[in-house]
Amino acid sequence: MLSISYNHFFILSVILFIIGCFGLFLNRRNMILILMCIEIILLAANINFVSASIFLKNLDGQIFSIFILTIAAAEAAIGLAILVVYFRNKGGIDITKINELKD
């Protein structure tokens, strides 16, 4: 009898987490892709929380997943606002050009 255990979901969320982290290193120039990779990482955390909550029969994980969702929405709004301001000032979103404090 095939069935799903918690390990399935755990490994799925680890794979998603690694994909998100890998994307952070891979796209080191495009700022909007970095924000999207952070969203993927938060999604991995959400999957882990919700599946653990289901398998442990404890609702706290789902509640925390809702809070993570709130924080992710706030983070996306602020991040995209910073992105828009940065684009307006610089004419591009290449993050390798954010080194003006060095000079």
Partner 1 sequence: MFVVGTFYFFAIFLIFSSLSVIFSKNPVNSVLFLILAFLNSTFLFILIGAEFVGIILAIVYIGAVAILFLFVVMMLDIELIDIVFSVKRYIPLAVLFSIVIISEIVYLTVVKTVKGNLVLEPSSVNNTESIGDVLYTKFFIDFQLSGIVLLLAMIGAIVLTHIYKPSIKRQNISHQNSVTRLERVSLRNPKNGEGIDA
The CB-of-98 to partner 1 minimum distance in angstroms stands at 15
HSE toward the beta carbon, residue 71, CA cutoff 13 A: 12
Of residues 42-61, which lie at the interface with partner 1 (CB under 8 A)? 43, 46-47, 50-56, 59-60
Asked if 73 touches partner 1 (CB under 8 A), the answer is yes
Q: For the purposes of burial, counting CB atoms within 10 Å of the CB of 23, is it exposed (0-12), middle (13-18) or buried (19 or more)?
A: middle
The CB-of-99 to partner 1 minimum distance in angstroms stands at 16
The structure tokens listed for 50 are: 């919700």
Question: Which amino acid, 35?
Answer: L
Chosen residue from 89, 90, 92, 103 binding partner 1 by CB under 8 A: 92
Q: Measured between alpha carbons, how far is residue 45 from residues 17, 51, 52 in Å?
A: 8, 10, 11
Count of positions on this chain that bind partner 1 (CB under 8 A): 71
Asked if 21 touches partner 1 (CB under 8 A), the answer is yes
d(CA 88, CA 71): 26
Asked if 26 touches partner 1 (CB under 8 A), the answer is yes
Residue nearer to partner 1 on the CB measure, 5 or 99? 5
